[in-house]
Amino acid sequence: MRFILAKDATDVSQKAYDFIRKSILQNPSLTLGLATGSTPLELYKLMINDYKRGNISFKNIRTINLDEYVGLPEGHPQSYRYFMDYNLFNHIDIDKNNTKVPNGSAIDLNKECEDYSSFISKNVQDIQILGIGSNGHIAFNEPGTSFNSSTHIVDLKESTIKDNARFFDNETEVPKKAITMGIKDIMGAKMIILLATGSSKAEAIYRAIKGPITEDCPASVLQSHPNTVILGDHTASFWIRVNREPD
Protein backbone atom coordinates (compact mmCIF):
# COMPACT_ATOMS: atom_id res chain seq x y z
CA MET A 1 0.00 0.00 0.00
CA ARG A 2 1.30 3.40 -0.98
CA PHE A 3 0.12 6.58 0.71
CA ILE A 4 0.33 9.90 -1.13
CA LEU A 5 -0.24 13.14 0.73
CA ALA A 6 -2.10 15.65 -1.40
CA LYS A 7 -2.65 19.33 -0.66
CA ASP A 8 -6.41 19.47 -0.97
CA ALA A 9 -9.40 17.84 -2.68
CA THR A 10 -8.40 19.24 -6.06
CA ASP A 11 -4.91 17.79 -5.74
CA VAL A 12 -6.34 14.39 -4.66
CA SER A 13 -8.57 14.36 -7.76
CA GLN A 14 -5.80 15.49 -10.10
CA LYS A 15 -3.39 12.85 -8.81
CA ALA A 16 -6.08 10.16 -9.17
CA TYR A 17 -6.84 11.31 -12.69
CA ASP A 18 -3.13 11.25 -13.61
CA PHE A 19 -3.09 7.49 -12.84
CA ILE A 20 -6.32 6.89 -14.75
CA ARG A 21 -5.35 8.99 -17.75
CA LYS A 22 -1.96 7.33 -18.14
CA SER A 23 -3.56 3.88 -17.90
CA ILE A 24 -6.25 4.68 -20.49
CA LEU A 25 -3.67 6.05 -22.90
CA GLN A 26 -1.79 2.75 -22.53
CA ASN A 27 -4.93 0.61 -22.69
CA PRO A 28 -7.93 2.40 -24.26
CA SER A 29 -10.26 -0.50 -23.42
CA LEU A 30 -9.47 -0.82 -19.75
CA THR A 31 -12.00 -1.60 -17.04
CA LEU A 32 -12.51 1.08 -14.44
CA GLY A 33 -14.27 0.45 -11.14
CA LEU A 34 -16.17 3.56 -10.05
CA ALA A 35 -17.67 4.94 -6.86
CA THR A 36 -20.45 7.40 -6.11
CA GLY A 37 -20.54 9.83 -3.17
CA SER A 38 -19.15 13.33 -2.94
CA THR A 39 -15.44 12.47 -2.95
CA PRO A 40 -14.99 11.41 -6.61
CA LEU A 41 -17.10 14.27 -8.05
CA GLU A 42 -14.09 16.45 -8.78
CA LEU A 43 -12.32 13.53 -10.43
CA TYR A 44 -15.32 13.04 -12.72
CA LYS A 45 -15.21 16.74 -13.62
CA LEU A 46 -11.56 16.38 -14.60
CA MET A 47 -12.44 13.42 -16.83
CA ILE A 48 -15.23 15.43 -18.49
CA ASN A 49 -13.04 18.51 -19.02
CA ASP A 50 -10.21 16.48 -20.47
CA TYR A 51 -12.64 14.79 -22.87
CA LYS A 52 -14.23 18.09 -23.87
CA ARG A 53 -10.83 19.54 -24.66
CA GLY A 54 -10.32 16.63 -27.04
CA ASN A 55 -7.41 15.20 -25.09
CA ILE A 56 -8.83 11.77 -24.34
CA SER A 57 -11.52 9.34 -25.40
CA PHE A 58 -13.43 7.00 -23.09
CA LYS A 59 -15.16 5.31 -26.01
CA ASN A 60 -13.74 1.87 -25.41
CA ILE A 61 -13.47 1.72 -21.65
CA ARG A 62 -15.76 -0.39 -19.50
CA THR A 63 -16.91 0.72 -16.05
CA ILE A 64 -18.23 -1.24 -13.08
CA ASN A 65 -19.78 0.57 -10.14
CA LEU A 66 -19.52 -0.42 -6.52
CA ASP A 67 -23.11 -0.29 -5.36
CA GLU A 68 -26.75 0.69 -5.75
CA TYR A 69 -29.77 1.17 -3.52
CA VAL A 70 -32.39 -1.56 -3.56
CA GLY A 71 -35.91 -0.67 -4.61
CA LEU A 72 -35.62 2.83 -6.06
CA PRO A 73 -37.63 3.13 -9.26
CA GLU A 74 -35.62 3.37 -12.49
CA GLY A 75 -34.51 6.93 -13.15
CA HIS A 76 -34.88 7.99 -9.48
CA PRO A 77 -32.57 10.98 -9.01
CA GLN A 78 -31.02 9.42 -5.90
CA SER A 79 -30.18 6.13 -7.59
CA TYR A 80 -26.51 5.56 -8.20
CA ARG A 81 -27.23 4.84 -11.87
CA TYR A 82 -28.72 8.32 -12.16
CA PHE A 83 -25.76 9.77 -10.24
CA MET A 84 -23.26 8.21 -12.68
CA ASP A 85 -25.21 9.26 -15.78
CA TYR A 86 -25.68 12.79 -14.48
CA ASN A 87 -22.17 13.35 -13.11
CA LEU A 88 -20.10 11.51 -15.70
CA PHE A 89 -21.49 9.22 -18.38
CA ASN A 90 -23.80 11.77 -20.06
CA HIS A 91 -20.84 14.11 -20.63
CA ILE A 92 -18.24 11.80 -22.14
CA ASP A 93 -18.13 9.51 -25.17
CA ILE A 94 -18.47 6.28 -23.19
CA ASP A 95 -20.77 3.58 -24.59
CA LYS A 96 -23.43 3.27 -21.88
CA ASN A 97 -23.82 -0.42 -22.74
CA ASN A 98 -20.36 -0.78 -21.24
CA THR A 99 -21.26 0.86 -17.95
CA LYS A 100 -22.39 -1.48 -15.23
CA VAL A 101 -24.19 -0.52 -12.02
CA PRO A 102 -25.87 -3.21 -9.89
CA ASN A 103 -29.58 -3.47 -10.65
CA GLY A 104 -31.30 -2.66 -7.37
CA SER A 105 -34.70 -3.31 -8.96
CA ALA A 106 -33.91 -6.86 -10.07
CA ILE A 107 -36.74 -9.25 -9.25
CA ASP A 108 -34.27 -11.90 -8.12
CA LEU A 109 -31.71 -9.94 -6.13
CA ASN A 110 -29.67 -13.00 -5.16
CA LYS A 111 -29.23 -13.86 -8.81
CA GLU A 112 -28.27 -10.25 -9.54
CA CYS A 113 -25.55 -10.52 -6.87
CA GLU A 114 -24.22 -13.80 -8.27
CA ASP A 115 -24.24 -12.43 -11.81
CA TYR A 116 -22.51 -9.23 -10.75
CA SER A 117 -19.66 -11.06 -9.00
CA SER A 118 -19.30 -13.43 -11.91
CA PHE A 119 -19.19 -10.47 -14.31
CA ILE A 120 -16.45 -8.85 -12.23
CA SER A 121 -14.37 -12.03 -12.20
CA LYS A 122 -14.50 -12.03 -16.02
CA ASN A 123 -13.91 -8.25 -16.31
CA VAL A 124 -11.38 -7.57 -13.59
CA GLN A 125 -11.01 -3.90 -12.76
CA ASP A 126 -7.71 -2.52 -14.04
CA ILE A 127 -8.23 0.35 -11.63
CA GLN A 128 -10.84 0.49 -8.86
CA ILE A 129 -11.68 3.92 -7.43
CA LEU A 130 -12.85 3.93 -3.82
CA GLY A 131 -14.05 6.45 -1.28
CA ILE A 132 -14.07 5.63 2.43
CA GLY A 133 -16.71 6.00 5.12
CA SER A 134 -15.83 7.67 8.40
CA ASN A 135 -16.21 4.22 10.01
CA GLY A 136 -13.79 2.69 7.49
CA HIS A 137 -16.42 1.22 5.16
CA ILE A 138 -15.64 0.67 1.49
CA ALA A 139 -18.57 0.43 -0.93
CA PHE A 140 -21.46 -0.57 1.39
CA ASN A 141 -19.24 -3.04 3.24
CA GLU A 142 -19.72 -1.88 6.80
CA PRO A 143 -17.51 -2.91 9.75
CA GLY A 144 -17.90 -6.63 10.39
CA THR A 145 -18.28 -7.60 6.70
CA SER A 146 -16.30 -10.70 5.78
CA PHE A 147 -13.15 -10.07 3.76
CA ASN A 148 -14.29 -13.06 1.73
CA SER A 149 -17.58 -11.44 0.66
CA SER A 150 -18.69 -11.26 -2.94
CA THR A 151 -21.53 -9.02 -4.20
CA HIS A 152 -24.33 -9.11 -1.62
CA ILE A 153 -27.36 -7.34 -0.22
CA VAL A 154 -26.86 -5.23 2.89
CA ASP A 155 -29.26 -3.79 5.41
CA LEU A 156 -28.22 -0.18 5.72
CA LYS A 157 -27.22 0.93 9.19
CA GLU A 158 -29.37 3.50 10.94
CA SER A 159 -26.42 5.94 10.83
CA THR A 160 -26.05 5.51 7.04
CA ILE A 161 -29.81 6.04 6.54
CA LYS A 162 -29.60 9.21 8.63
CA ASP A 163 -26.49 10.42 6.73
CA ASN A 164 -28.20 9.87 3.38
CA ALA A 165 -31.55 11.37 4.42
CA ARG A 166 -30.26 14.80 3.34
CA PHE A 167 -30.58 13.70 -0.28
CA PHE A 168 -34.24 12.64 0.06
CA ASP A 169 -37.39 14.57 0.88
CA ASN A 170 -37.57 12.78 4.21
CA GLU A 171 -35.89 9.93 6.07
CA THR A 172 -38.68 7.41 5.38
CA GLU A 173 -37.87 7.61 1.67
CA VAL A 174 -34.28 6.44 2.13
CA PRO A 175 -33.96 2.81 1.00
CA LYS A 176 -33.22 0.35 3.80
CA LYS A 177 -31.16 -2.00 1.67
CA ALA A 178 -28.44 -1.80 -0.93
CA ILE A 179 -26.57 -4.12 -3.22
CA THR A 180 -22.80 -3.86 -2.94
CA MET A 181 -19.68 -5.28 -4.46
CA GLY A 182 -18.08 -7.50 -1.83
CA ILE A 183 -14.61 -7.05 -0.40
CA LYS A 184 -13.29 -10.01 -2.39
CA ASP A 185 -14.63 -8.40 -5.62
CA ILE A 186 -12.83 -5.16 -4.75
CA MET A 187 -9.58 -6.89 -3.79
CA GLY A 188 -9.47 -8.63 -7.17
CA ALA A 189 -8.77 -5.28 -8.88
CA LYS A 190 -5.30 -4.92 -10.38
CA MET A 191 -4.91 -1.48 -8.87
CA ILE A 192 -6.97 0.30 -6.21
CA ILE A 193 -7.00 4.06 -5.68
CA LEU A 194 -8.75 5.24 -2.54
CA LEU A 195 -9.56 8.94 -2.29
CA ALA A 196 -10.07 10.64 1.05
CA THR A 197 -10.80 14.29 1.69
CA GLY A 198 -11.83 16.20 4.80
CA SER A 199 -11.26 15.80 8.51
CA SER A 200 -14.20 13.39 8.97
CA LYS A 201 -12.08 10.76 7.20
CA ALA A 202 -8.89 11.27 9.24
CA GLU A 203 -9.49 8.53 11.80
CA ALA A 204 -10.58 5.99 9.16
CA ILE A 205 -7.50 6.77 7.06
CA TYR A 206 -5.22 6.20 10.02
CA ARG A 207 -6.89 2.88 10.86
CA ALA A 208 -6.87 1.80 7.21
CA ILE A 209 -3.14 2.46 6.84
CA LYS A 210 -1.61 1.92 10.27
CA GLY A 211 -4.18 -0.07 12.19
CA PRO A 212 -4.44 -3.84 12.37
CA ILE A 213 -5.95 -5.61 9.37
CA THR A 214 -9.36 -6.33 10.77
CA GLU A 215 -12.94 -6.68 9.59
CA ASP A 216 -13.77 -3.96 12.15
CA CYS A 217 -12.20 -1.53 9.66
CA PRO A 218 -13.02 -2.83 6.16
CA ALA A 219 -10.52 -0.48 4.45
CA SER A 220 -7.65 -2.03 6.46
CA VAL A 221 -7.87 -5.04 4.10
CA LEU A 222 -6.20 -2.82 1.48
CA GLN A 223 -2.90 -3.24 3.36
CA SER A 224 -2.79 -6.75 1.92
CA HIS A 225 -3.49 -5.64 -1.66
CA PRO A 226 -0.39 -5.65 -3.91
CA ASN A 227 -1.10 -2.35 -5.68
CA THR A 228 -3.13 0.13 -3.66
CA VAL A 229 -2.62 3.88 -3.55
CA ILE A 230 -4.30 5.96 -0.87
CA LEU A 231 -4.60 9.62 -1.75
CA GLY A 232 -5.39 11.79 1.24
CA ASP A 233 -5.69 15.54 1.44
CA HIS A 234 -4.12 17.50 4.27
CA THR A 235 -7.06 17.17 6.66
CA ALA A 236 -7.94 13.55 5.91
CA SER A 237 -4.27 12.72 6.53
CA PHE A 238 -4.07 14.48 9.88
CA TRP A 239 -3.35 11.42 12.07
CA ILE A 240 -0.96 9.99 9.50
CA ARG A 241 0.92 13.29 9.38
CA VAL A 242 1.25 13.61 13.15
CA ASN A 243 2.00 9.88 13.24
CA ARG A 244 -0.01 8.91 16.28
CA GLU A 245 -3.24 7.13 17.00
CA PRO A 246 -6.41 9.23 16.90
CA ASP A 247 -7.44 10.51 20.36
Q: Which residues bind ligand F6R (CB under 6 A)?
A: 35-39, 66-67, 131-133, 137-140
Cβ atoms of 175 and 102 within 8 Å: the answer is no
203 is catalytic: no
Sheet containing 2-5, strands listed edge to edge, beginning at the edge strand earlier in sequence: 2-5, 228-232, 191-196, 127-130, 31-34, 62-65, 99-100
Q: CB of residue 83 vs ligand F6R: minimum separation in angstroms?
A: 9
**What does DSSP assign to residue 174?**
S
Q: CB of residue 124 vs ligand F6R: minimum separation in angstroms?
A: 19
Closer residue to ligand F6R, CB minimum distance, 67 or 126: 67
Candidate list 42, 67, 112, 126, residue with the active-site label: 67
Report the alpha-carbon distance of residue 208 to residue 138 in Å, rounded. Answer: 11
Q: CB of residue 218 vs ligand F6R: minimum separation in angstroms?
A: 9
Q: Which secondary structure element, helix H or strand E, spans residue 69, and what is its range? A: strand 67-69
67 is catalytic: yes
Closer residue to ligand F6R, CB minimum distance, 38 or 227: 38
91 is catalytic: no
135 is catalytic: yes
C-alpha dist (Å) from residue 137 to 145, 172, 208? 9, 23, 10
Residue nearest to ligand F6R (CB): 131
Closer residue to ligand F6R, CB minimum distance, 109 or 205: 205
Candidate list 137, 152, 225, 234, residue with the active-site label: 137
Closer residue to ligand F6R, CB minimum distance, 57 or 103: 103
Closer residue to ligand F6R, CB minimum distance, 67 or 215: 67
Q: CB of residue 91 vs ligand F6R: minimum separation in angstroms?
A: 19
Cβ atoms of 186 and 150 within 8 Å: the answer is no
Q: CB of residue 175 vs ligand F6R: minimum separation in angstroms?
A: 14
Q: What angle do CA 27, 29, 35 make, to 5 degrees?
A: 100
C-alpha dist (Å) from residue 97 to 71, 116, 179, 217? 22, 15, 20, 34
In degrees and rounded to multiples of 5, residue 203 shows phi and psi of: -65, -45
Active site residues: 67, 135, 137, 142
